[in-house]
Amino acid sequence: MADMPADGPQVSRLSNGLPVITLAMPGIRTAAVELAADVGARHEAPHENGLAHLFEHMVFKGTGRRSARAIAEDIEDVGGALNAWTSRDMTMFHARTLAADLPLGLDMVADLIVSPRFDAEDLEREKAVVHSEIGEARDTPDDVVFDHLQARAFPDQPLGRPILGTEDSVSAATVAHLAGWRARHYHAGALVLVATGAVEHERLLADAEAALGRLPAAGARTEIPANWGGGPVGEARRIEQTHLTLGFAGPGGRDPGYHAALMFAMALGGGMSSRLFQQLREERGLAYSVSAAHGAHEEIGVMSLYCAAKPADSEAAALLAMEVAHAAAADLSAAELDRARAQVKAGLLMGLEGCAGQADWLARGWLTFGRLYSAGEALAEMDALTVDDVRAAGRAMLASRPAIAIVGTRGDRLADRLATRIGR
Amino acid sequence: MADMPADGPQVSRLSNGLPVITLAMPGIRTAAVELAADVGARHEAPHENGLAHLFEHMVFKGTGRRSARAIAEDIEDVGGALNAWTSRDMTMFHARTLAADLPLGLDMVADLIVSPRFDAEDLEREKAVVHSEIGEARDTPDDVVFDHLQARAFPDQPLGRPILGTEDSVSAATVAHLAGWRARHYHAGALVLVATGAVEHERLLADAEAALGRLPAAGARTEIPANWGGGPVGEARRIEQTHLTLGFAGPGGRDPGYHAALMFAMALGGGMSSRLFQQLREERGLAYSVSAAHGAHEEIGVMSLYCAAKPADSEAAALLAMEVAHAAAADLSAAELDRARAQVKAGLLMGLEGCAGQADWLARGWLTFGRLYSAGEALAEMDALTVDDVRAAGRAMLASRPAIAIVGTRGDRLADRLATRIGR
């Protein structure tokens, strides 16, 4: 996988400055288009919580040229799929089509952003849908526990609030809020368009100019830098397994230390051979689900250890997970680093064999670094890591004040007890 | 997508008759190996419930040549991943590697089946892990509701029992049960090996002969034909959304009518443009999750309508879903069929662009039909369908006695009420 081969991604800019990246993939007879926006739940004011996600729902309710039904039918008539995701940092609009329908896919993701028709009646109906989505998430313990973790990691900050918002904050949204959100955030300077698969750069570029060239060049926005908190939160809930997660402050996606943190989390709990899997599940049988991961925002990341265990085993599982993490930060071996590196590298390569994976990689790289960020560059950064780098990354993260989130039988008491044993 | 191009899949048989399929995919630098067994939870005797799945777990606990840790480390050392899934009809063992490591991937999936080392102590520890898995599933309402549906659809039959088993049935398993399960089901006549991506047929075949050629040619097994039941089951549970599913008897995967049923379910609730999505979510705001699907066993299938709605809305949602389904069976349009067909066809093509998708398609086709079943053949069957075929498939399924499964606040009462209104 050479760094940026001759037939690698091509980048151009529209007249308003909006970057357009294409990657032609030989042998692929389908295409993906991703229009990615550098905006998410973390850009919401407190009273706006849930607005980034509600906006992403509402653009599907109709545009200047298409009713909600036409949006659904136009893309599905050709067997395509239109999707969108909101995270804390980014919002993605994604179309997947056969090769011949790429122009339609582009037209549709652009249409959603360029001319959404926000109608007050549609908004009321969509609020009910989002209330259902919030209810479903709250019925899912492993969703809830990570929202709790995020809230403890970043207390009283936009980054700590739930992406879906709350019933109250969603109920308070108006058509004017949606229009204001679009005006603030959906401008050429905060967007990137990526098309991959069966795509021809010049053709795509001309279509993109027609579809997106009239968006304003720039807008205004606020981003509040993250401020790590930590500490316990427990929710008592009568369920069979206690869902338990421990979070630590780590490097963000733009930080040079990002890959060392990623490798540490991978070696600690990324696969079957990882220390957490081996010690909690294989040796002790304490849990079915057990893992570690490092999730990055722009300027900060969260390394999380997660497991679900019987209530009677959950304190032991949490203490053992902490012990295993500290041990790894002290004595992670070269073989473990090599294995973690092989897993991350192979996973990346496999993900990039499909158009959707390529489009998402290119879009995220652009929004993170403001430039093309190639897989070759990422691989080189990984190759340069030493065991000392990775141990040091682990120690640095484990030195932060842990955020502790628990959902389960007597989860409130367990959170407090753990805080006294492993908190600071 | 021509039917079986010159460079399409190649099939050979090992000396014991075990079929080996390869598909070389130009431009792909990774590989997938799937060893698929024609055995699943439906082949369990009542006292064995959960054994197919427990077996799939236990083969990872060590083989004649590798400890549990070595299994995990050997594959992850090269960045590969080893996975396994148990369904009611099949069990799949899957390795994903870079091109150069395909021989290792094959060696490992074969090793799991050829020489698993079932140790009583390991078994006791793994039972605790599976108990946790059962607990997690029971904490997830949309898992539970589909297990309830399956139980009502196929009462007192292996096909109606949960794949994971119950705490009691799992606790009762012994090393002798595991060994017996292997002897009964893991022979050349019930297996197929598929390798896709960067693969060369003759080389793979030689490796497969060495790895799998000494498995016995045939074994014995029992398969109890499905017997549709239907009727209500409701579980009262204090959660925010009521999860509700309605099931109808339909054609199995081997049935010539399978694709008509698949198209009906797709048009009814497969995408954003489907009738259920438009009428329940877009027009009424009754639910966030709403869908229909047709899931096929060998000789019978289950068309399920699913939604999660507020308790106060759930009866209305169920009655509306039934109304929408009957209307579709009466007046589905040619445009709707064309759209459903385009979605299924494009989804298939996109799925087959990756090695894992190709391997799984080839393995499932072989286990279902006992021969190569090409995507071209499936597409031709879809193309031949008329609106009348699809409406008739819908009417036939809706004429079966509905299975009704509900999990949510007063879910027990709602199930009984619905049974009197839509049951038979």
Instruction: Kindly report the three-state secondary structure assignment for every residue of A211-237.
Output: HHCCCCCCCCCCCCCCCCCCEEEEEEC
Q: How far apart are CA A388 and CA B17, in angstroms?
A: 52
Residue from A381, A372, A352 nearest A263 by CA: A381
Residue from B137, B105, B119, B114 nearest B22 by CA: B105
Residue from A414, A399, A420, A363 nearest A145 by CA: A414
Exposed/middle/buried for residue A59 (C-beta within 10 Å: 0-12, 13-18, 19+) = buried
Q: How far is A163 from chain B (nearest CA, A)?
A: 16
Identify the pLDDT of residue B3: 34
- CB atoms under 10 Å from CB of A100, counted, come to 12
Identify the pLDDT of residue B135: 96
pLDDT one-digit tens code per residue, A288-327 = 999 999 999 999 999 999 999 999 999 999 999 999 999 9
Once rounded to an integer, what is the mean pLDDT over residues A235-254? 97
Q: Do A285 and B128 touch (CB under 8 A)?
A: yes
B82: chain A residues, CB-CB within 8 Å: 272
Identify the pLDDT of residue A2: 32
Q: How far is B245 from chain A (nearest CA, A)?
A: 15
Q: Do B285 and A125 touch (CB under 8 A)?
A: yes
Instruction: Kindly report the three-state secondary structure assignment for every residue of chain A.
Output: CCCCCCCCCEEEECCCCCEEEEEECCCCCEEEEEEEECCCHHHCCHHHCCHHHHHHHHHHHEECCCEHHHHHHHHHHCCCEEEEEECCCCEEEEEEEEHHHHHHHHHHHHHHHHCECCCHHHHHHHHHHHHHHHHHHHCCHHHHHHHHHHHHHCCCCHHHCCCCCCHHHHHCCCHHHHHHHHHHHCCHHHEEEEEEECCCHHHHHHHHHHHHCCCCCCCCCCCCCCCCCCEEEEEECCCCCEEEEEEEEECCCCCCCHHHHHHHHHHHHCCCCCHHHHHHHHHCCCEEEEEEEEEECCCCEEEEEEEEECHHHHHHHHHHHHHHHHHHHHHCCHHHHHHHHHHHHHHHHHHCCCHHHHHHHHHHHHHHHCCCCCHHHHHHHHHCCCHHHHHHHHHHHHCCCCEEEEEECCHHHHHHHHHHHHCC
Identify the pLDDT of residue A3: 34
Give, for B234, the enclosing helix (H) or strand (E): strand B231-236
B75: chain A residues, CB-CB within 8 Å: 272
- What residue type is assigned to position B160 of the chain? G
Question: What three-state secondary structure class fits B247?
Answer: strand
The catalytic residues of B are: 56
**Cβ neighbours of residue B225 under 8 Å, at least 6 residues apart?**
B299
Q: Do A126 and B27 touch (CB under 8 A)?
A: no
A240: chain B residues, CB-CB within 8 Å: 134-136, 138-139
Residue of A nearest to B339 (CA): A77
Q: How far apart are CA A132 and CA A312, in angstroms?
A: 32
Q: Which of A27, A124, A339 sits opposite B27 (nearest CB)?
A: A27
Q: Do A349 and B98 touch (CB under 8 A)?
A: yes
**Range(s) within chain B of domains with CATH label 3.30.830.10:** 10-212, 231-422
Q: Which of A76, A96, A283 sits opposite B339 (nearest CB)?
A: A76
| Domain B231-422 sits in CATH 3.30.830.10 | yes
B135: chain A residues, CB-CB within 8 Å: 239-241, 308, 310
Question: What are the C-alpha distances in Å from A65 to residues A34, A100, B79, B342?
Answer: 20, 21, 47, 23
Give the model's confidence band at A272: pLDDT under 50 very low, under 70 low, under 90 confident, else very high.
very high
Identify the pLDDT of residue B356: 95
The catalytic residues of A are: 56
Question: Torsions phi, psi of B114, nearest 5?
Answer: -75, -40
Q: Do A73 and B273 touch (CB under 8 A)?
A: yes
Pair of tokens at residue B276 = 């259920």
Exposed/middle/buried for residue A5 (C-beta within 10 Å: 0-12, 13-18, 19+) = exposed
CA atoms within 13 A on the CB side of B226: 26
pLDDT tens, N- to C-terminus, chain B (424 residues): 333 344 799 999 999 999 999 999 988 999 999 999 999 999 999 999 999 999 999 999 999 999 999 999 999 999 999 999 999 999 999 999 999 999 999 999 999 999 999 999 999 999 999 999 999 999 999 999 999 999 999 999 999 999 999 999 999 999 999 999 999 999 999 999 999 999 999 999 999 999 999 999 987 667 788 999 999 999 999 999 999 999 999 999 999 999 999 999 999 999 999 999 999 999 999 999 999 999 999 999 999 999 999 999 999 999 999 999 999 999 999 999 999 999 999 999 999 999 999 999 999 999 999 999 999 999 999 999 999 999 999 999 999 999 999 999 999 999 999 999 997 6
Q: Do A79 and B343 touch (CB under 8 A)?
A: yes
B313 and B286 Cβ atoms separated by less than 8 Å: yes
Identify the pLDDT of residue A220: 67
Instruction: Kindly report the three-state secondary structure assignment for every residue of A114-183.
Output: HCECCCHHHHHHHHHHHHHHHHHHHCCHHHHHHHHHHHHHCCCCHHHCCCCCCHHHHHCCCHHHHHHHHH
In the sheet where B301-309 sits, what is the strand order? B231-236, B403-408, B242-250, B301-309, B287-296
Q: Which of A26, A141, A349 sits opposite B139 (nearest CB)?
A: A141
Find the distance separating the first CA and the last CA of chain B, reported in whole Å: 44
What interhelical angle do B120-138 and B51-58 show, nearest 10? 120
**Cβ neighbours of residue A298 under 8 Å, at least 6 residues apart?**
A89, A252, A253, A254, A368
Q: Is the pLDDT of residue A172 over 90?
A: yes
Identify the pLDDT of residue A381: 97
Identify the pLDDT of residue A46: 93
B296 and B258 Cβ atoms separated by less than 8 Å: yes
Q: Is the pLDDT of residue A423 over 80?
A: no
A355: chain B residues, CB-CB within 8 Å: 353
**Kind of pairing between the strands at A19-24 and A191-197:** parallel
pLDDT one-digit tens code per residue, A361-380 = 999 999 999 999 999 999 99
Q: Do B346 and A78 touch (CB under 8 A)?
A: yes
Superfamily of domain B10-212: Metalloenzyme, LuxS/M16 peptidase-like (3.30.830.10)
Once rounded to an integer, what is the mean pLDDT over residues A191-204? 97
Q: Is the pLDDT of residue A183 over 80?
A: yes
Identify the pLDDT of residue A204: 98
pLDDT one-digit tens code per residue, A84-93 = 999 999 999 9
Q: Which of B73, B128, B353 sits opposite A339 (nearest CB)?
A: B73
pLDDT one-digit tens code per residue, A99-136 = 999 999 999 999 999 999 999 999 999 999 999 999 99
Give the model's confidence band at A97: pLDDT under 50 very low, under 70 low, under 90 confident, else very high.
very high
Identify the pLDDT of residue A141: 95
Q: Is the pLDDT of residue A1 over 80?
A: no
Residue of B nearest to A58 (CA): B282
